[in-house]
């Protein structure tokens, strides 16, 4: 899984976190829609944009998540923004935000665009400089978990899971945050089995997340149907197998490879590949 996809998913599902990150009230997200935009007749695509849905006083926010060195990032970003402004002629002003894991990756020369930084038209955020995880809002702490090293990530994740369960009272938002934490942990600890991650981080067999709830419920239903026809024991066995197959596309959404899914579910690589061939084409863009 690409690291930036975690952030764009986070901004898509819980947009208030971005506004907290740049020092604004999270409620500002109510006036925006997060999306990606393609600039016509060019090879440019801006993956993260908060477009105002109300009020000309609200600026457009162009977001770049940068987890590797890129000496042309600022010239490219500003070019993309200027082309967007020329083609769309928005009445709103704009701001650019570049998010780095740390300052050492910010190596691009800004001499030819220094005025954008002086005026704060473009700002940079270094996740490892945001402060102690325990003192950050839950959403921002979830973002920072991505850049924690393995030793500190274990402690930080446990604390963050506890805080999410205790402090977030809105059920959909709590569930989304737990799913994102789960995704980050899978990304950070690729050699650990899911059972090890569950045990280490107290995720209760991950049964509180939408992905596992959906798979579990579908597997139960299938098992009941098979049990009526072929008997209780055979139905349970078949239901368990069908549950594994139904889990495949859900685990793919979490960023696991076919090989990792096969190992996790106790299936052969060929079974995983064949099952995915049966799936309808994705509607995601």
- Written as one string, the DSSP assignment of 145-193 is HTTS-HHHHHHHHHHHHHHHHHH--SHHHHHHHHHHHHHHHHHH-TTS-
pLDDT of residue 266: 77
Range from 38-47, 58-67, 174-183, 207-216 carrying the lowest mean pLDDT: 207-216
For residue range 249-262, what is the model confidence (pLDDT) as tens digits?
A: 777 766 677 777 77
pLDDT > 70 fraction of the chain, expressed in percent and rounded: 76
pLDDT of residue 196: 72
Band (272; pLDDT cuts 50, 70, 90): confident
Task: Provide the b/e sequence for 28-55 (b: ≥16 CB within 10 Å).
Answer: bbeebebeebebeeeebebbbbbbbeee
pTM, 2 dp: 0.67
pLDDT of residue 134: 83
Question: Of residues 209 and 201, which shows the higher confidence score?
Answer: 201
pLDDT of residue 93: 95
pLDDT > 90 fraction of the chain, expressed in percent and rounded: 34
Question: Of residues 193 and 1, which shows the higher confidence score?
Answer: 193
Band (280; pLDDT cuts 50, 70, 90): low
Residue 213, classified by CB atoms within 10 Å of its CB into exposed (0-12), middle (13-18) or buried (19+), is middle
Band (51; pLDDT cuts 50, 70, 90): very high
Between 2.30.30, 1.10.3470, 3.30.450, 3.40.1350, what CATH number should domain 1-129 receive?
A: 3.40.1350
pLDDT of residue 175: 85
For residue range 142-190, what is the model confidence (pLDDT) as tens digits?
A: 999 988 887 788 888 888 888 888 888 888 888 888 888 888 887 788 7
Range from 8-17, 143-152, 197-206, 214-223 carrying the lowest mean pLDDT: 214-223
* Mean pLDDT rounded to a whole number for the chain: 79
Sheet of 122-126, strands arranged across: 32-38, 45-52, 60-65, 94-100, 122-126
Range from 8-17, 40-49, 108-117 carrying the lowest mean pLDDT: 40-49
Locate the domains of the chain by residue range: 1-129, 131-190, 210-278
pLDDT of residue 283: 44
């Amino acid at each position: 899984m690409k690291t930036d996809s975690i952030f764009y998913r986070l901004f898509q599902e819980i947009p208030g976190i971005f506004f907290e990150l740049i020092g604004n009230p999270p409620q500002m997200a109510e006036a925006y829609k997060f999306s990606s935009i393609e600039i016509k007749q060019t090879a440019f695509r801006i993956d993260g944009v908060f477009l105002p849905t109300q009020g000309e006083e609200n600026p457009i926010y162009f977001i770049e998540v940068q987890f590797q060195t890129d000496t042309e990032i600022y010239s490219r970003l500003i070019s993309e923004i200027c082309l967007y402004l020329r083609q769309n002629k928005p009445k709103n002003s704009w701001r650019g935000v570049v998010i780095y894991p740390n300052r050492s990756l910010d190596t691009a020369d800004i001499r030819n665009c220094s005025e954008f930084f002086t005026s704060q038209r473009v700002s940079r955020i270094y996740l490892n400089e945001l402060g102690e995880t325990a003192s950050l809002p839950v959403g921002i702490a979830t973002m920072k978990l991505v850049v924690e090293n393995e030793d500190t990530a274990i402690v930080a994740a446990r604390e963050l899971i506890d805080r999410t369960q205790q402090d977030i009272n809105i059920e959909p938002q709590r569930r989304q945050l737990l799913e994102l934490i789960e995704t980050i942990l899978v990304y950070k600890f690729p050699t650990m089995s899911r059972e090890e991650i569950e045990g280490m981080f107290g995720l209760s067999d991950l049964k509180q997340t939408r992905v596992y709830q959906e798979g579990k419920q579908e597997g139960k239903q299938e098992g009941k149907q098979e049990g009526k026809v072929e008997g209780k024991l055979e139905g349970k066995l078949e239901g368990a197998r069908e549950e594994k197959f139904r889990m495949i596309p859900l685990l793919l959404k979490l960023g696991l490879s076919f090989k990792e899914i096969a190992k996790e579910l106790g299936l052969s690589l060929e079974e995983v590949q064949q099952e995915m061939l049966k799936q309808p084409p994705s509607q995601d863009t």
